[in-house]
Structures are given as structure tokens and as C-alpha cells.
Structure 1
Amino acid sequence: MRWDRLFEDLEARAAAQSRLELDAEVAERTRLERSRITLGERVAGAGGVPLTVRLRGGTVVRGQVEDSGDGWILLLEEGGRQLLVPVASVLGVSGLGRPQDDTRARRFGLGSAVRGVSRDRRAVVVRDVDGGSVHGTIDSVGADAFDLAEHPIDSPRRPENVRGTRVIPFGAVAMIAST
């Protein structure tokens, strides 16, 4: 009998040690999976949730996630204005909640998103990372910058309305807002 209790005790200890090792492995794998979720992917999982996003340059915007991709987020403000936000200009996001294993973010980059805005030929307001802003129409988009024809926000892009053109590097953009 004494030997039976000893063997039972040893088996119980071995089972408990196995459970501890399994729990540790599961916890480590969970941490590893979470470490691979980018901010863009995390924001993509927040569709329909109102977010507050603080940007470089002191701008704070609020909206729901309409789309996202590799390095960018498209927010929809309550009034219907769309905000294209490079992830590099984000200083903080409130309202996300816990990370989700959601990878709905599109794989195309900021350049593709800016080209989409350019195709619409709508006037935009570009806010830079220092808090400045300029408005006009995006004429063309390169690999790391775009050309903006500056004109009054309430005037169409016509030669007589264009005051000048400006080349804006993607790295300088805090947000591009539709009008």
C-alpha cells in the first residue's frame, strides 16, 4: 500500500509538471502571436468602433475605421469626411480595446491609398507632422511623395485657381482629409 501511494504521488507530480509546462508554452505562443500583430492590423479589427487618434503635430481626430492597409488607416468622421492617416504619424489610439487576431488590413501601401484619393480628383486638406496644413488636389503620386496643386478649398482645380504646386513626402504627412 505504501508503494502504491508513493507511485500515485509521483504520477500526480509528473502530471502537474506537465500541465505547468503546457501552460507556459501556450502563454509563450500567445505572446509570440500578439507580437506579430501590427498597429494597422489591430486597427483593422476595430471596424465600427469609434476611435480617437492623436497624430504628430498635435492633431487629434475621431472616427470609425473604414479601411486600412500596410502603413495606413482610413477613418470616417461623423460628418462623412474621410481621413487617410499614415500609421507613422500616429502617436496614440484610444478605443481599440484588447488585441484581436484580425488581419483584415489590405497589403497595399500608403502610395496606393494616396493614388486612390488622387483618382477621385477631390480637393483635400493635407496636415503635416508639424501641424501645418495645405489644401488642393493631388495631381500625381510617386514612390515616396505626391504632387499637390494648391488652390482654394472651395474652388475646383482649374489653371486659373491653382496658386502653385508642392511636392509632399509621405513621411511628412500626418493626415489627408477629404472635403
Structure 2
Amino acid sequence: MRWESLFDDLESQLQGEIAAQLREEITQSIRAEQATETLAERLEKLAGQMLRLQLGSKLEVSGRLGPLGDGYLCIDSEAADWVINLQALRRLSITAPRAGTRRCRVNRSKIKLPTLLRGIMRDRNRVQICALNGDELAEGTMGQVGKDFLVMLVHPRDEFARDSAVSEQAVIPLDAIGWVVIPKGI
């Protein structure tokens, strides 16, 4: 009997079994990781990429994925900046990255939605607030952002939010907001 070739053959079989077992463990680990991944975790991997989003009933928005927060994401499109409640997101399409496009992974920001809205309010930008289904809730200038609501000062588009121009103060629960649109160049 040729002990050397027998042991070589048995060791080769053992190595093959060990490699197959390792591949199976890796496959199971990947499946488990994918099965427990959340939308927010998936979005973290897409930071900086061009996306097409379907919001509310059928509104489509295309833009670059910006910061992510607890329950919201930010999109930079050509015409506007968007703060979008993840509950308003109906579909997300990842556009094919161009050659040389840098992919970056970011962690979610600890900045809560009310704090972000206060930062936007401080700039006195005109904004449009839409509900989760896409209905417009109000358009104008934010006057106050509380813990769980905001006050919109509704006024004509060509006027500032002065007392004489404000026709209504709309109080909107933050949970009702699907997205906030901040137009560029106005």
C-alpha cells in the first residue's frame, strides 16, 4: 500500500470538505445579514449616489442622496433640496454609477428632524410641506418648529412673511409630513 498517496488523497478530501463547509457558513452568514438589514442601513451604503425615488401617490424625484437621519433622508436635486420622511418613500431606484463615481458610506446623523427643520427655518427659506400621500399641506415660511409640530406662515409667493402678508398660520404635526421641498434659486 502506498501510504503517501493514500494520506495525500484523504487530506485533499478533508481540505475540500473544510472549504465547502466554510463556503456554506459564509453563505448562511450573508443570508442572515441580508435578512436583518433595515432600509436605513441600506441607504447608508448608497450615500452620495444618484437615486430616483417615488414618493406619496406617484411623485418621482431624482437627485443625489445626502445626509440620513432617524426616519428621514435628504436629497439634492437640480431644482430643490428635499427632506423626505422614510414613511413617504414608495420606491427607490439606484441609477447606474458612472465611471469614476466615488461611493461613500456614511453613518446616520444624530440630528433629529425638528432640529433640522429649525436650521432650515433659520434661513427663512420658502418651503413646501407635503403629506405622506403627496397632498400639499402648506407653502410659505416656517415660523416655529416645536417638538412634534411646526407652524407655517402662509403668504403669497412674491412677498416676505411679514404680518401684513401672512394670510394663515398652519400648524402641522411632524408625523403628518411626508416631505419638505426647499426650492433653489428663489
Q: Partner of 1:93 in structure 2?
A: 92
1-structure distance, mates of 2:74, 2:49: 13
Deviation for aligned residue 1:135: 0.1
Percent identity, aligned pairs only, is 27
Deviation for aligned residue 1:97: 6.2
The reply to whether residue 169 of structure 1 matches residue 168 of structure 2 is no
Q: Partner of 1:117 in structure 2?
A: 120
Deviation for aligned residue 1:11: 1.8
Against the structure 1 CA distance between its residues 43 and 153, is the aligned structure 2 distance closer, same or farther, given a 3 Å change threshold?
farther
Against the structure 1 CA distance between its residues 31 and 144, is the aligned structure 2 distance closer, same or farther, given a 3 Å change threshold?
farther
2-structure distance, mates of 1:31, 1:116: 40
AA aligned to 2:83 is L
Instruction: Give the number of equivalent residue pairs.
Output: 177
Against the structure 1 CA distance between its residues 46 and 15, is the aligned structure 2 distance closer, same or farther, given a 3 Å change threshold?
same
Do the aligned residues in 2 keep the contact of 1:74 with 1:83 (CA within 8 Å)? yes
Against the structure 1 CA distance between its residues 101 and 128, is the aligned structure 2 distance closer, same or farther, given a 3 Å change threshold?
same
Do the aligned residues in 1 keep the contact of 2:88 with 2:133 (CA within 8 Å)? no
Do the aligned residues in 2 keep the contact of 1:43 with 1:96 (CA within 8 Å)? no
Against the structure 1 CA distance between its residues 71 and 96, is the aligned structure 2 distance closer, same or farther, given a 3 Å change threshold?
farther
- RMSD of aligned Cα (Å): 2.6
2-structure distance, mates of 1:76, 1:21: 46
Q: Partner of 1:141 in structure 2?
A: 145
- SS for the counterpart of 1:155 is coil
1-structure distance, mates of 2:96, 2:173: 32
Against the structure 1 CA distance between its residues 101 and 65, is the aligned structure 2 distance closer, same or farther, given a 3 Å change threshold?
closer
Describe the superposition over 1:76-118 as per-residue Cα deviations: whole angstroms up to 9, x where unpaired.
1113x211111121111112669x8823331223222222212
Do the aligned residues in 2 keep the contact of 1:137 with 1:149 (CA within 8 Å)? yes
Deviation for aligned residue 1:26: 2.4
Q: Which runs of 5+ in 2 are unaligned?
A: 98-102
Against the structure 1 CA distance between its residues 109 and 17, is the aligned structure 2 distance closer, same or farther, given a 3 Å change threshold?
farther
| TM-score normalized by the length of structure 1 | 0.82
2-structure distance, mates of 1:111, 1:141: 6
Against the structure 1 CA distance between its residues 103 and 27, is the aligned structure 2 distance closer, same or farther, given a 3 Å change threshold?
farther
The reply to whether residue 28 of structure 1 matches residue 28 of structure 2 is yes
1-structure distance, mates of 2:163, 2:149: 22
Runs (4 or more) in structure 1 with deviation over 6 Å come to none
Do the aligned residues in 2 keep the contact of 1:57 with 1:128 (CA within 8 Å)? no
Q: Which runs of 5+ in 1 are unaligned?
A: none
1-structure distance, mates of 2:110, 2:22: 34
| TM-score normalized by the length of structure 2 | 0.80
Q: How does 1:14-163 map to 2 (within 5 A)?
A: 14-34=14-34, 37-79=37-79, 81-95=80-94, 102-133=105-136, 134-163=138-167
